[in-house]
Structure 1
């Protein structure tokens, strides 16, 4: 088994081994992973944090040994906490890194970081504050950063920055936590999931106070939430049908 670490700010993870293939997620700076299959130009990887799999370009990561992989994977994540930061190498080269990048491998990569960071589990009351950092970020299928993010990438990153683990996709996240019977039982920070006509979970957002929800739909935005689903006051329509509310923490 081979192992790797992301030494660049944002690396695309694709469904197949091609630059033309669908973006399914992103690997952020400092994330470590197992290399499940390696070809001439591409590697299929499994990210340590959420076990998500996909293909990345061989030129966009560094190989590490098993000992370093396990050490970083098992340690409490140290994450950058500003929208955009930078790290520098021994030659003075600067690399930009987005909110939520992992700093556990700085010494291994021989990089320096002087910005703000988080390394402890935060109170759940901090979830909404973190969510607001992504407000107005454009929607991007497979995205995980303030420069482009999808609905489940948004919820995963908000929870991750506060020290909690969510799986990558909305349908996977819906298997976590305890289901609530009514919206009135929910608290800010709980997750609301929404399904399509076939009953498949296709969307997720973070519940706020007073029946509001923050979610990624076109951009990260705030809408009303009722027993039917998400209500957009600008268009006077329900955009998503509520399936279940989950309390994860």
Structure 2
């Protein structure tokens, strides 16, 4: 069985319960495999990054297997407005956030199963130059931190980097420790360029944080909110508290 998110932003939970931890979010147009389904909950696996979790059965639309595979194989189109809406054939509005996927998009039209919509906003559908990474990152500046979030209304550190790279046409996995398995290792901070990613670990050596390197040893990352701090050989230096908050583990290049 296969499904697609037909609402703006839907929580993906660790266990099948409304009170369970939200480990991720699904934004409009993201498609997935339904691994298990009971009366209220479905366990799903996202096509984009393989992330698994539980979603309320009322918050997605089942789709045909052929549509699922067509979406996997087709060119991706993403909404480029911070917040916008789509309209159906009788002018009902559905709000969609920056980074929402536009399934079967052509000439301002998109489709989910048998439902057709119109979208008039900006669309990203190409690989952009590395300089665009910082430009897209600025769109999220001051967005509040939200564990599991990946929208302009709340985002976590790896949701931020994944979404920014997605808008630029590049594929990152969901969690910081997974993203750290991708890309090319840089030996020194001096080798880094704007758009490279810096990863940070905890006292147990587990990578728990990621941010996007800017010029002049600055970094933009989600910590309380999406903010800009200084980056040095030790890690992130918070410009408000004048102390280090994250210990640098590795710098990696993806573009």
TM-score normalised to the size of structure 1?
A: 0.98
| Number of equivalent positions | 248
Secondary structure of 1:166's counterpart equals: coil
How far apart, in 1, do the equivalents of 2:46 and 2:130 lie? 25
Range moving further from structure 2, 134-143 or 99-108: 99-108
1:111 aligned counterpart, secondary structure: strand
Quote the Cα distance in structure 2 between the aligned partners of 1:75 and 1:156.
20
Given the alignment of the two structures, is residue 107 of structure 1 paired with residue 106 of structure 2, yes or no?
no
Shift of 1:76: 2.0
- Alignment-derived partner of residue 163 in structure 1: 169
Matched residues in 2 for 1:58 and 1:86: separation?
23
- 1:47 corresponds to which residue? 46
Distance in 1 separating the partners of 2:237 and 2:252:
19
Q: Which residue of 2 aligns with 1:24?
A: 23
Unaligned runs of 5+ in 2: 105-109
Instruction: Confirm whether residue 138 of structure 1 aligns to residue 144 of structure 2.
Output: yes
1:233, distance to aligned residue in structure 2 (A) = 2.0
2:219 to 213, 218, 222: 213
Q: 1:74 maps to which residue?
A: 73
CA distance in 2 between partners of 1:240 and 1:74 (Å): 39
Question: 1:35 maps to what in 2?
Answer: 34
Match for residue 182 of structure 1?
Answer: 188
Find the counterpart in structure 2 of residue 225 from structure 1: 231
Give the secondary-structure state (helix, strand or coil) at the position aligned to 1:100.
coil
Q: Which moved more, 1:72-81 or 1:146-155?
A: 72-81
Cα distance in 2 for partners of 1:26, 1:77 equals 19
Q: Which runs of 4+ in 1 moved over 4 A?
A: none
TM-fit CA distance, 1:91: 2.0
Task: Give 1:90 shift.
Answer: 1.6
Deviation at 1:143, TM superposition (A): 0.2
2:134 corresponds to: 128
Is the aligned partner of 1:238 residue 2:237? no
Partner residue in 1 for 2:4: 5
TM-score of the two chains, using structure 2 as the length reference: 0.96
Match of 2:82 in 1: 83
Cα deviation for residue 77 of structure 1 reads: 1.1
Task: Give structure 1 stretches of 5+ with no counterpart.
Answer: none
Task: Name the SS for the 1:128 alignment partner.
Answer: helix
